[in-house]
Amino acid sequence: MTFEELKGQRWFKIVNSIFKFLLKQWFFILLGVFIALSHSYPEFAKQGGTIKAEYSIGYGAVAVIFLVSGLSMSTKQLTVNFLNWRAHFTVLSTSFLITSAIIYGLVCGIMSAHNHKIDEWLLAGLIVTHSCPTTVSSNVVMTKQADGNDVLTLLEVFIGNILGAFITPALIQMYTTGPWSFANPRKQSTGDSTVSDLYREDMKQLGLSVFIPLFVGQVVQNIFPRQTKWCLTTFRLSKVGSFMLLLIMFESFSTAFAQHAFTSVSHVSIIFLVFFNIGIYLLFTVFCFFYSRPKFILMIFKDEPNETHSKFYRYSYKIFRPFYYNKKDTVAIMLCGPAKTAALGVSLVTSQYGSTSPNLGKILVPLVLYQAEQVMTAQILVNFMKKWIHYDDPKPGDLEDGDKSSEPSESSTDIDQGEIHKNEIPSGNINSHT
């Protein structure tokens, strides 16, 4: 039987379809494999384990992600997005203040129900988790997959984690009072580090795994632009970030299993946490969408200012109209706002509560599970986000029918290498499409 005849067989078509489906789901399959490995051999990839994962993965894998980002992003894009103070305000207010306040209110309500099957330290862990900054690596990978503004995401990650060394301990201190005072880090006799130690470790990790790889990528890209583009396309380096993300999750789960995090609480608590995390991530994602594109701004500022409008209207338009973000920026905000870091979060929590604290595992369970669930949920959502970004793109048939002169939508003009198009300047452009 020839290969062509074999291809015509029904069973071959079925097997081939299954294989193609599994190939598309490679991320989730490998994630399951890594979780199984971390459960069976937690000592291998835990922090301080066989491969010293806090360095080989915590620094190495993250550095690879940002090196690839540095190679693929133009310096002009970074400069323009760095000056986008409106987006910084939106992401930081969501990531630190709004989400943590909502979680605090929800867990207070859960605690008042006095359900003894839900561990109180697990609820305290939810407060700690949502006081942490946005995740270091998955945001950049996911935003790039969705064709969002990954340059803006990278900057939000950098800024958020720098400020997180100060803001996260302060938020934890603020929330762990009154009925939550049992979880206050100051009352833990095993605390390992001061705030200055936290900041020093935070800056060390951000500098070595984010800033230096990004800087090296930028230098190489500007000196060898053609060679860099060839390497990115030939070796498909954009896929490397997803695999590095799996390694980071491998480290987080290994550390959690090694500290008996999942066996320190009841099965009911774990089941509750799994569904709660998915629900709260989706809730925050929807919130970030409406927070990024508030309709009342369009209602107030219907027209572009001209000489017939008052000075007050013109200045108000320049200040407030850009808070209605374009699609690419909205996707970046939707992925940054709800996300929480485990790469730096585990270090922040461990240093405050102490590596030998009997309740450390319970505190870490929500953080580790949330990271895994936010990545899995985002992997599904990025497909919808990508379709939404390109929904108004001109179709090939439209161009053939003479629509070449039609004005492009906000998502139809991509940022090319080393080139910024006016409708993609995130919030400085008051004429961004809606």
Taking residues 221-247, what's their average pLDDT?
86
Tell the burial category of 407 from Cβ atoms under 10 Å away from its Cβ (0-12, 13-18, 19+): exposed
pLDDT tens digit sequence for 111-132? 998 888 888 989 999 999 999 9
- Token pair listed for 413: 């003009």
- At residue 407, the pLDDT reads 42
- Token pair listed for 331: 């996707």
Terminal alpha carbon distance of the chain: 58
Q: How far is CA 420 from CA 67, 77, 155, in A?
A: 21, 7, 17
Q: At 239, is the pLDDT very low, low, confident or very high (cuts 50, 70, 90)?
A: confident
Tell which wins on pLDDT, 6 or 283. Answer: 283
All structural domains of the chain: 26-391+418-424 (1.20.1530.20)
Phi, psi of 402 (to 5 degrees): 95, 25
Taking residues 360-364, what's their average pLDDT?
80
- At residue 388, the pLDDT reads 95
Query: Is 21's pLDDT higher than 60?
Result: yes
Query: Is 404's pLDDT higher than 60?
Result: no
Taking residues 308-321, what's their average pLDDT?
91
Q: Which amino acid is at 144?
A: K
pLDDT tens digit sequence for 367-380? 888 988 998 899 89
Taking residues 104-116, what's their average pLDDT?
90
The 8-class DSSP code of residue 117 comes to T
Q: At 3, is the pLDDT very low, low, confident or very high (cuts 50, 70, 90)?
A: low
Q: Mean pLDDT of all residues in the chain?
A: 83
* Whole-angstrom distance, CA of residue 257 vs CA of residue 204: 26
Query: Is 359's pLDDT higher than 50?
Result: yes
- At residue 397, the pLDDT reads 62
Whole-model pTM? 0.79
Tell the burial category of 357 from Cβ atoms under 10 Å away from its Cβ (0-12, 13-18, 19+): buried
Taking residues 64-85, what's their average pLDDT?
87
- Token pair listed for 263: 């066996």
Q: Which are the contacts of 5, defined by CB distance < 8 A and separation ≥ 6?
A: none
* Whole-angstrom distance, CA of residue 225 vs CA of residue 269: 52
Q: Which are the contacts of 62, defined by CB distance < 8 A and separation ≥ 6?
A: 136, 137, 205, 209, 210, 244, 248, 343
